[in-house]
Structure 1
């Protein structure tokens, strides 16, 4: 597909807006409209705005429909996208150009349209807002302000093209697009309820009275001042100058980001040396402020422009990119404070860097306004996030004059350094993407469910927990998960890594909701069960190993009426959960409840002795044998001298007697996984221990342990000694070699590189948590095939080995794995032995109250909110639409086909920014992989997307591409060449969404 976006005519825009609103009470996908308080407004540039917020100059103000969507959700100050003499296809923009999973990066800086096209877009938007404000009763027709942005040097700004843009933005009355807007509005008069011809004639053509100067990095202060004087004196424009955080100096920026955990963001000092310096900026701003005062114009600064950083990990296809979002906020607010101190709070500051719903009210209360946002609107919820921002600001007291409170700003600067919101997590997040490709139709999915190895119906039980219906929640959980207490307590929760809510505040605490259901409904659930009857002539199954995998296999087989015996050599079932994991993490009582579920179903447990051999099991009549032994072979820590205690041996002893300390005062754990964290936390609780340290050859960010486990260890007071490799342990002293991080290895982690420097530290006891191994010899002795890594070779779908009716599940097949993966393996093996009759609660993943689910979109959970965890669930299986939310251009739309919502891509509205790819739960890019509407034969030919082009509206002839194959079909005639769902979707688009096809 082409990355060229094509503007929509004013007639087509009117038609789209009127038809979509009439049919579905939405406009460009926006469903929640903001209505301004008629008694509140703030003055700026001799104009008024009902709320002092809106979209920053960027992707959300580059097309008419973007500006309309911004207005509908509460924006009243619009920084339209920057124009410059270099424009259109002459402007090189690498694609994709945006990535905003956490802090955002972009490599786009000006409109990708030709300047005259951009002008037309802004005028159309201005005109439509005048119409919509009155027709829909959303606010005063004079309640919003447009602010233009230009760059990048005086010669370019004085060029005929840019000069005409500036002049016509001040007065559009003599331009063709203005007349076209008026004539089109007249044509739609019969459709309006509150608009008449007199009102249309009264709409002001004075689109802009203000301008923001955006200069390139390295622009000399003399040039900036010359441009500003020109804009003030010759153009008579109220003027803002964009200032960069580089004014803070390299050392301040580097140390601030490092302290907040953004140390991986790479940049050098050349921009800091070449950009406008603070000591040069202050006198220049003072001179310009005086000039503006003399001319009766407003003057101020826009904070901040761009923070240039290096492309270090292929984030975008460019060498340099521009950072924004929460990582920029501590820098931007610091620059605001620094400037306000010098100007005694009398310098007008227009603010953008990292503003969002969590800080916007504090910024405004400090006397800074207007406030514009971009990064937050690029995340799921999209434009709808503006509703909350607008509501927060509309509740504030509006100022009568510029008065920035430096003391208030000082508090915000300190808060930004101490608040978790602006601190990067210890671990970099895992990919939220599912492995599957997005389907052309019916793509709504709950990524949490897709990320769960057993496909738990998570949205269903979360909704039940929210409603206090714990019994129903337990029914959903246990349908596929025999271990509600174990997984509700210590599951690695891969579901949470996929949760869309992480892009709002943090993931839903799914595991906690599961435990809440289990604790509240276990007895009722158990009492409701009927013990299954054994099936006649059912083959017997022996499960060797009573850990999570073995318990799960026993439960599932027994529930199907299959005779099963679980053999566990320890005195109690539970495996690592009852023998290794510390009691403070999971109690035996919790483990026993899951065991009791399996026993109730009819699973027999034989404990306290080793299982019979395979031959003996065969002799005892066991047709099927499932080995679920786990990985108990200790890993080896290689030292030049000295020894260590194996982590599993330590944890087993500690579980049996958690108050016994034969180890000493200084305990060091070698390793960086979850087992190492368990060892360190258990050791910290021993009497007489003074210090417990974790030694690892990488840093915390590159440790394999779960982030949660790292934080728990830190909270317990465990010391982390990073970038150290143990060498020898002699006479109570551990000698380590210092390491540094080199290039990334195959795992994606940075490789530790020796430095030749050494350090000594006291260590009464060394505990080696360097990974457990599978007892390969055991399997080889009984004839089970293993691979070169020592793991059992089994069929992936059934986990059958080379021996007849012998299965291996869990660690021996996967290597040390998670509990939920053990359940998944048990499910595969049991499914091959007998049919598993799940209730399949997928259907209750879908909430029938779709409107209620939609109301959650875009709403953040603010501090002090009492919403429970389950109530925060966005119910993505009912409403996903993240690709629609995050598209600034509204190029991904929802169409209703036979009552079901479908996502369709509109080619002409897309510039391939790539933002939808970031947030689509599938390993796909909707702008490439969803069924696409084309509005011209040229665009259809220039693409590889599956989609269609309506060649003739009267006859219904279409050109269709499906998975690379192009054909011609007629929508009025049945065809066997196109799948029914695709054919009906095209028919629906032409019949009910014809406005998407209008040029």
Structure 2
């Protein structure tokens, strides 16, 4: 495997499109075609443009198949990838070169092909789009436009190689590629149903009449003007000049990035000082506008070029990279607004830089078009996202009449606070599962895999969406006896893993669970009948979530269980500590009733000190669900801190009437600290609730939503402070500072030597509770060096036979759902069988799921959120969608229930984008079963995969588990798994157009 793509011959491209479309109804994996309507035609450069959107000069306009996929999905304006004098293998590009999991970064800038190859790809694409338009009814054969992009200096642009490229794109009739494509189509016109000989003969050889000039950072204004003048006067081209956000100045860019949460994005003032300056740009643009007008050509600027930032967290293997996407939008649109005002709307502005479905209509409505996109296409849904954008821009026939400076200004102002562009307070959690991607059958629901109890999320979402709440509740309750608690305060790791995060927001799985609980609880409770409980008895020590779940799974499966609770009611921390503004007592009571509905015995106000006494009382098994009951302690040089759980218990018991003074400081950065600080703010008499943490919000362990709620409630965050002592009503803190990023991409913290004082009548420490080590030791249970019980990892049995430890009392403070996971593990060890079953989440109508792919759809209505589920266990295909080159392909294999993903080596340039979005801890371009074009390519790779030696005989050379084999379909015995054999046979028989 190398990082060089092999362009496909034109006949292979045509055959691929025709056969895939006829057999699968798709083109290069794009399921929904966009059909343009003539009434929405626009005019630019004297030509028709059916939609003012398309891919930016970049990975999506580098190969013919990329352009074809973009066209089929809705693109009509194609900014071709930049060509320059340095090309092919002489062009240094670090790989991987794209990271697009949130805002996007890349370290490549122009075509990786040789310039003559790039020219061939664009001519082939020109023909292919023309016949696709007519054959599939997508629009007029001349309804799209190619816009060439050249750089980076005048000498290079005048070189014979680039000059020939420009002239050939202006008129390709004398090129061999044009002649060969035309001849092939005419010779094979019979393959088409709607394309005629006359249609083919009518395909124009005048491919481009416009150009976008891309210049390197630091290019002098005189050089930029010389190039643009040359392109206008000598080449007679409608011309755009790419403008960089550095025109806004370093201070504006730094302030904007910091305000929007991108303070970690590092860049100096070098490029701002070295690049084109605003004072030089304006008169230059005025002169070029005048020149173009005299030549009857259109002139404008393209915003944006690139925004260079430093590599600080090993994002990419380069020293510098280029930022795009959501973080670039506020800078780019601000520059557009500034230029619109400067030129009173008369300067034409073409746009790129964070454009997507959420903002594209507003951008175009402001008179800023065409708009090209890249980052949004690099995310799941891929090219298919263009269909929605193109549809959004259907507004009748439009000609450029100027940019509306007022609208542009409003867009720039709104961008600073737009939720689609502001950075999350905390870094995104990892979306990946800690397991490698399998060679076959890799489709998986990340939400279910990310859930500690493997809740059947997609199943109950389907039922909820159909209004079948009772059935949904049964699915939930199979593994989860606490649906109200988890439907309200669960940390929802399922939502963190949801693929919808790469679209807009995750499916509100937790909210849907609560809807199902509220809608199906009563019916479920009426159905539950406590059966006969027989067999060996279990004592469950602790009546919190872990203990309740343990009793539930035991009694539900016919085993007697008794809960021993030291307090006067069940529910543990959730009942006695978590504030009522987080969850109501009524909701907790319903979960308690469900958890004990199968006949668990309950003994309240009964503290267990001796496990031996329980054994003497006739219990065969004991499950310790004691919670992390030992208070955490914050040691100060002077003064004492109150324990957070003690405060929260008082707050809840006394309805907020706790005497803690006017100024209260909470120490900590976890979820408990957030609850505490919010409760403090709501406590009678408190005026200020301060939260002190030694690092910044970004590095607090609290969930983002918990942190945001604290901010909304008025908690005053005091970051980069470490508490030292409390005296005279003041908390003295050391001022800390974050260090630079280390080799692993992490930032440390160190003292500055300075101190500050914070008014403090009371200090509350939320620094984590500890497991009851003394209790464990007193009962003969072995503990590790952290004082935690040593257990069998598969059963959670301790060193004392028949005694199990679960929940917070085992690992320290965790989540409710993790407590339920532990409870089920221990229950299953006692029962000797599974305590809950899995549900089939197969969706019969895959078309409904494909209809959702690539469609951004936000909703705040929990009941409706089931319609946003992508059904990832039935369809994933993230790696196929996000690959610009279509190098990862989903194929239908007879005899296998789901599509299989194969990686096509010759189409891949190792950009690495698929790695970001594969739900497994893997990179599909390295780890999926790979199709090689020839044996030499296979030798140059370590990938497991195959090369077809004889497609008719279905004979392949295969690398499997590091060994090489020759396999034939006729072989009845093989070490190669059946699934892989079926994949290879299917490629040879049904996907032979993949074979180079």
Tell me which interval the TM-score lies in, with the shorter structure as reference length.
over 0.9
User: Secondary structure in 2 aligned to 1:75?
Assistant: coil
Say yes or no: does 1:483 pair with 2:482.
yes
Q: TM-score, normalised by structure 1?
A: 0.98
Q: Report which stretch shifted further, 317-326 or 935-944.
A: 935-944
User: Partner of 1:284 in structure 2?
Assistant: 284
Q: Name the CA shift for 1:553/1:839 in 2 (closer, same or farther; >3 Å).
A: closer
User: 1:306-325 CA distances to partner (integer Å, 9 max, x unpaired)?
Assistant: 00000010000100000000
Moved more, 774-783 or 316-325: 774-783
Q: Residues 222-257 of structure 1, C-alpha deviation per residue, up to 9 Å, x if partnerless? A: 111111111111111111111100111100000000
Instruction: Please give the alpha-carbon distance, in whole angstroms, between the structure 1 residues aligned to 2:574 and 2:855.
Output: 39
**What corresponds to 1:141 in structure 2?**
141
Question: Corresponding residue for 1:602?
Answer: 599
Bigger mean CA offset, 585-594 vs 444-453: 585-594
Q: Secondary structure at the match of 2:946?
A: strand
What's the offset of the Cα at 1:598? 2.4
Q: Assess if the C-alpha contact under 8 Å between 2:515 and 2:862 holds in 1.
A: no
Residue in structure 2 matched with residue 428 of structure 1 by the alignment: 427
Deviation at 1:876?
A: 0.8
Retained in 2: the 8 A contact 1:969–1:975? no
What is residue 406 of structure 2 aligned with on the other side?
A: 407
Post-superposition shift, 1:867? 8.1
Structure 1 pair 846–698 and aligned structure 2 pair: CA distance change class (3 A)? same
Cα 1:565–1:635 change in 2 (3 A) is same
Matched, 1:889 2:889: no
Q: Which residue of 1 aligns with 2:700?
A: 703
What residue number does 2:857 align with? Answer: 861
Residue 501 of structure 1: aligned partner: 500
Query: How far apart, CA to CA, are the structure 2 residues paired with 1:801 and 1:162?
Result: 74
1:446 and 1:876 in contact (8 A); partners too: yes
Q: Does 1:613 align with 2:600?
A: no
Q: Distance in 1 between matches of 2:559 and 2:977?
A: 42
Distance in 2 (alpha carbons) for counterparts of 1:790 and 1:865: 45
Could you tell me whether the CA contact under 8 Å between 1:702 and 1:750 is conserved in 2?
no
Partners of 1:667 and 1:858 lie apart in 2 by: 48
Shift of 1:900: 2.7
Q: How many residues align?
A: 994
Paired position in structure 1 for 2:973 = 975
Rounded to whole Å, the distance in 1 between the matches of 2:507 and 2:170 is 49
Q: Any conservation in 2 of the 1:861–1:867 contact (CA below 8 Å)?
A: no
Q: Following the alignment from structure 1 to structure 2, what is the Cα–Cα distance between the partners of residues 360 and 194?
A: 33
Which of these residues, 520, 524, 546, is aligned with residue 549 of structure 1?
Answer: 546
Aligned equivalent of 2:918: 920
- Matched ranges for 1:628-777 at <5 A: 628-743=625-740, 750-777=747-774
Given the superposition, is the C-alpha separation of residues 960 and 466 from structure 1 closer, same or farther in structure 2, using an over 3 Å criterion?
same
Whole-angstrom CA distance in 1 between matches of 2:397 and 2:671 = 52
Provide the C-alpha distance between the structure 1 equivalents of 2:529 and 2:23, rounded to a whole number of angstroms.
50
C-alpha separation in 1, matches of 2:797 and 2:337: 66
Work out the CA distance in 2 between the residues paired with 1:279 and 1:744.
36
- How much does 1:865 deviate? 9.5
Which stretch shifts more, 597-606 or 427-436?
597-606
Q: Distance in 1 between matches of 2:867 and 2:3?
A: 39
Structure 1 match to 2:55: 55
The reply to whether residue 799 of structure 1 matches residue 796 of structure 2 is yes
Q: Secondary structure at the match of 2:416?
A: helix
Structure 2 stretches lacking a partner, 5+ long: none
**SS of alignment partner, residue 209 of structure 2:** strand
Cα distance change of structure 1 residues 839 and 180 upon mapping to structure 2, 3 Å threshold: farther
CA gap of 1:410–1:758, structure 2 versus 1, over 3 A, is same
Can you list the C-alpha shifts for 1:755-801, whole angstroms capped at 9, x where unaligned?
Answer: 11111121111111111111211111211111111111111111111
1:556/1:836 contact within 8 Å kept:
no
Determine the structure 2 residue equivalent to 1:850. 846
Mapped partners of 2:739, 2:602: distance in 1:
50
Quick one: distance in 1 between partners of 2:651 and 2:744?
A: 32
Corresponding residue number in structure 2 for 1:219: 219
1:400/1:540 CA distance change after superposition, 3 Å: same
Q: Indicate conservation of the 8 Å contact 2:859/2:865, yes or no.
A: no
The equivalent of 1:903 in structure 2 is 901
Residues 890-925 of structure 1 show CA distances to partners (whole Å, capped at 9, x for unaligned) of: 111111112531111111111111111000000001
8 Å contact kept, 1:347–1:402? no
- Higher deviation after alignment, 973-982 or 217-226: 973-982
Q: Deviation at 1:670?
A: 0.8
Quote how far apart the aligned CAs of 1:520 are: 0.9
Counterpart for residue 876 of structure 2: 880
Cα deviations across residues 106-164 of structure 1 (Å, max 9, x unaligned)?
Answer: 00101111111111111111101110101111101111110000111111111111111
Conserved? CA contact 1:558–1:598, under 8 Å: no
Helix, strand or coil for the counterpart of 1:868?
A: helix
Partner residue in 2 for 1:383: 383
What are the residue-to-residue correspondences of 1:255-404 with 2, within 5 Å? 255-394=255-394, 396-404=395-403
Report SS of the residue matched to 1:251: helix
Q: How far apart, in 2, do the equivalents of 1:863 and 1:576 lie?
A: 32
Counterpart secondary structure, 1:948? strand
Q: Does 1:784 pair with 2:806?
A: no
In structure 1, what is the equivalent of residue 76 of structure 2?
Answer: 76
CA 1:747–1:16: 2 relative to 1, 3 Å:
closer
Distance in structure 2 (CA, Å) of the matches to 1:529 and 1:25: 48
Against the structure 1 CA distance between its residues 677 and 18, is the aligned structure 2 distance closer, same or farther, given a 3 Å change threshold? same
Quote the Cα distance in structure 2 between the aligned partners of 1:866 and 1:520.
12
| Separation in structure 2 between the aligned mates of residue 612 and residue 252 of structure 1, nearest angstrom | 64
Q: Quick one: structure 1 residues 389 and 723, their matched pair in 2 at CA, closer, same or farther if it must change by over 3 Å?
A: same
**Is 2:813 aligned against 1:813?**
no
Residues 789 and 886 from structure 1, CA distance in 2 versus in 1: closer, same or farther, beyond 3 angstroms? same
Deviations 1:338-371 (A, max 9, x none): 1112211111111001111111111111111100
1:458 counterpart residue number: 457
What CA distance in whole angstroms lies between the structure 1 residues aligned with 2:908 and 2:861?
Answer: 37
Deviation at 1:953, TM superposition (A): 2.5
Q: Output the aligned Cα RMSD.
A: 1.5
Alpha-carbon distance in structure 1 between the residues aligned to 2:478 and 2:45 = 63
Q: Which residue of 2 aligns with 1:945?
A: 943
Distance 2:736 2:575 in 1: 37
Note if contact 2:508-2:862 (Cα within 8 Å) is conserved in structure 1.
no
Offset of residue 842 of structure 1: 3.4
CA distance in structure 2 between the partners assigned to 1:956 and 1:361 by the alignment: 51
Deviation at 1:957, TM superposition (A): 2.3
Give the alignment of 1:494-533 within 5 angstroms.
494-533=493-532
